[in-house]
Amino acid sequence: MKASKVAYKPVGLALGAVSGAVAGAVFKQAWKVLGHDDDAPDATDRDRSWPEVLTAATLQGAIFAGVKAAVDRGGAATLHRLTGAWPD
């Protein structure tokens, strides 16, 4: 394994933590914009409907996956630009 790929591991972990925080904030704002309560429902919240719970979970998953992919791809592209190596 090349040194640049080893060096990317901690950077990737840090980027993952940051992307989780960003995705959480984006989801919270998106949920508010959609006209729902400030807090998304939990799956076990008896006062929320099936469609509301499933919509929240689907939206949250899509946002988290999209933000993670964007951050991972950006980190890999930056490493490639700086070192010429693409992380695996």
pLDDT tens digit sequence for 26-51: 999 999 998 778 889 999 999 999 99
9 inside domain: no
Summarised one tens digit per residue, pLDDT across range 54-78 is: 999 999 999 999 999 999 899 889 9
Residue with the two structure tokens 């429902």:
41
What is the helix, strand, coil percentage profile of the chain, to 5? 75, 0, 25
pLDDT given at position 7: 72
In-domain check, residue 10? no
In a domain, 1, yes or no: no
Q: What are phi and psi of 36, to 5 degrees?
A: -95, -175
Whether residue 88 is predicted with pLDDT greater than 70 in this model: the reply is yes
The more confident residue out of 11 and 60 is 60
Between the CA of residue 17 and those of 64, 79, 82, what are the distances in Å?
Answer: 12, 18, 22
Predicted confidence at residue 13, as pLDDT, reads 86
Residue 21, domain extent: 16-40+53-88
Rounded CA separation 40/60 (Å): 9
Q: How far is CA 13 from CA 30, 44, 71, in A?
A: 26, 31, 11
Residue 11 in any domain: the answer is no
Residue 60 lies in a domain: yes
Look at the chain and report how many structural domains it folds into: 1
